[in-house]
Amino acid sequence: MTQDDFIIRQMTPADLELALDWAAAEGWNPGLTDAIAFHQTDAKGFLMGHIGDQPAGSIAAVRYGDRYGFLGLYIVQPQWRGRGYGMQLWQAGLQILGDRTLALDGVLAQVDNYQTFGFKTAHHHIRYEGLGEAYAKQAGVVPLRDIPFTTLLDYDTQHFLDRRPTFLQAWVGLNEGYAFLEHGQLLGYGVIRATRRGFKLGPLFADRPAIAQALFQALLTHAIGQPVFLDCPDANPEAIALAETHDMKPVFTCARMYTQAPPPLPLAKIFGVTTLELG
């Protein structure tokens, strides 16, 4: 096969499910309903490369407004690696994203390669693993469905690259979540979702560490006795402390990288990122 035999097409929902199966095989442990929320976010941003009728590789190049784009799900099946197909997918993804500031969460072994395309490391995300357990719900913690969506979207936008209403609507609709209210003001929220193995928390945004802990413990009650994972920015020592206080152990580290100056995110209020595949 030559590079000319490699055809790149926009993913169907079924293709995206397949790409997430590949991600699971690589040990990334995606959520059981991730494909639904992902595809709704930017259907044109998911590409799959085919050799004949056989799917061979994937990439996500998701656009957030006119300013930011996020790269993820960059996978070539093992039997097709080393033939230049990955670079074709990469270039196709970059073409979709145009002149936006680009972001990705790269495995440490590939950081040098990403640097050749102008990406620079801003901080690292450390994945922690622990076990769900029961906690009494603290005052101020309420079901996420009780929060007006516009209020939630405004709060989420303060902690993310850009507004993501389509993604957020699907994400909170598909998964369990809690918010924290104080004097009627939203000061934090978190989501937990079932994955191929156990559960992942994300996002977990909170104005104060005590609020993050209250939300974290409420979410853990949905996964009693099951593995639970949280991706913490190492630039927030309180996030690391939250994980370690609950006997979670680091199992994986990746680099958050950008092609331009990192956005002014309030990292001290980000205790868990939403997803390493879409930011």
How do the pLDDT tens digits run along the chain, 279 residues long? 455 689 999 999 999 999 999 999 998 999 999 999 999 999 999 999 999 999 999 999 999 999 999 999 999 999 999 999 999 999 999 999 999 999 999 999 999 999 999 999 999 999 999 999 999 999 999 999 999 999 999 999 999 999 999 999 999 999 999 999 999 999 999 999 999 999 999 999 999 999 999 999 999 999 999 999 999 999 999 999 999 999 999 999 999 999 999 999 999 999 999 999 999
Query: d(Cα 42, Cα 39) in Å, to the nearest integer?
Result: 6
pTM of structure: 0.96
**What pLDDT is stored for residue 3 in this prediction?**
55
**What pLDDT is stored for residue 5 in this prediction?**
87
CA-based Rg of the chain, rounded to a whole angstrom? 19
Report cis status (omega within 30 of 0) of the bond before 262. no
**Looking at residue 270, what DSSP letter applies?**
E
**What pLDDT is stored for residue 42 in this prediction?**
97
Token pair of 16, please? Answer: 């995206």
Token pair of 74, please? Answer: 């960059």
How many residues are recorded in the chain?
A: 279
Reported in sequence order, the residue ranges of 108-213 that DSSP labels E, i.e. its strands, are: 120-131, 141-143, 176-182, 185-194, 199-206
**What pLDDT is stored for residue 4 in this prediction?**
62
Of 47, 34, 75, nearest to 274 (Cα)?
A: 34
Reported in sequence order, the residue ranges of 195-259 that DSSP labels E, i.e. its strands, are: 199-206, 227-233, 249-258
**What pLDDT is stored for residue 76 in this prediction?**
96
Query: d(Cα 140, Cα 273) in Å, to the nearest integer?
Result: 22
